[in-house]
Amino acid sequence: SQKIEQNSEALNIQEGKTATLTCNYTNYSPAYLQWYRQDPGRGPVFLLLIRENEKEKRKERLKVTFDTTLKQSLFHITASQPADSATYLCALDMSLIKAAGNKLTFGGGTRVLVKP
Amino acid sequence: DVKVTQSSRYLVKRTGEKVFLECVQDMDHENMFWYRQDPGLGLRLIYFSYDVKMKEKGDIPEGYSVSREKKERFSLILESASTNQTSMYLCASSFQGIQPQHFGDGTRLSIL
């Protein structure tokens, strides 16, 4: 069955360092992948979308890579700050039949804690 | 800014009750979604709708139904609430195609 895996262990990182999160998937070839941020008690907030023909996407201090051969996406937060502390979710459209619905399947998320 | 509004932040209901969760979006999005989020299980899709009066089952539709009579409003209905439906419920909306989803802040539902 299709599966999306993110490291369930929290990532503790010192302020100023780069945080790197992984998202692995199996048994599917998605056309795109999305990353979201979720703060406690809030809904996820969209960060970045990367398509299968894009190797890398950047937005301010965030960088996402997408390796369709390895079936993996990496999410980097450079020069991390305590305000970056949150849970980060990856999501793929894993529906077998592509409707207009943009139906996403989410990974379990990785919690990031940036220490001052 | 897109706003997705869920009618309640916290809700407590009793087993067997019929429960309605309401969601409204203000960006004329075609697609709307209902998820539940549980510790260790992540976000799971219950139902989604890509047009008025259209609905499709997600990964865990059992025990739930939905209604979309107007484009901006998507309702989740628990026909007969059970304790295993205690969860955080999140609504989202998006345009059609490869687009980000915009989430509400969730309804924490407790079934006693």
Q: A interface mutation test: which of B4, B23, B43, B93 has the most A CBs within 10 A?
A: B43
Q: What whole-number distance in Å separates Cα of residue A47 and Cα of residue A105?
A: 16
pLDDT (average), residues B77-98? 95
pLDDT tens digit at each of 116 positions of chain A: 568 899 888 999 999 999 999 999 987 778 889 999 999 999 999 999 999 889 899 999 999 999 989 999 999 999 999 999 999 999 998 665 555 457 888 999 999 999 99
Q: What whole-number distance in Å separates Cα of residue A86 and Cα of residue A112?
A: 5
Are A108 and B41 inside 8 Å of each other by CB?
A: yes
Q: What whole-number distance in Å separates Cα of residue B48 and Cα of residue B75?
A: 10
For residue B91, give the chain A residue with the closest CA: A43
Strands (E), B15-72: 19-25, 31-38, 42-49, 56-57, 64-70
Q: Which residues of A touch B57 (CB under 8 A)?
A: none
The sign of the dihedral angle between the CA atoms of B92, B95, B98, B100 is negative
The bridge status of strand B4-6 relative to strand B19-25 is antiparallel
Q: What whole-number distance in Å separates Cα of residue B21 and Cα of residue B76?
A: 5
Q: Which residues of B touch A46 (CB under 8 A)?
A: 100-102
Q: Which residues of B touch A109 (CB under 8 A)?
A: 42
Range 50-109 of A in CB contact (< 8 A) with B: 51, 89, 93, 99-109
**Least CB-CB distance to A43: which of B31, B44, B103?**
B103
How much is the mean pLDDT over chain B? 94
Q: Please, which pLDDT band fits residue B97 given cuts at 50, 70 and 90?
A: confident
Q: What whole-number distance in Å separates Cα of residue B80 and Cα of residue B10?
A: 18
Range 27-46 of A in CB contact (< 8 A) with B: 31-32, 34, 41-46
CA of B10 to nearest chain A CA: how many angstroms apart?
11
**pLDDT of amino acid A26:** 86
Q: B interface mutation test: which of A104, A105, A111 has the most B CBs within 10 A?
A: A104
The amino acid occupying position A95 is S
CA of A31 to nearest chain B CA: how many angstroms apart?
9
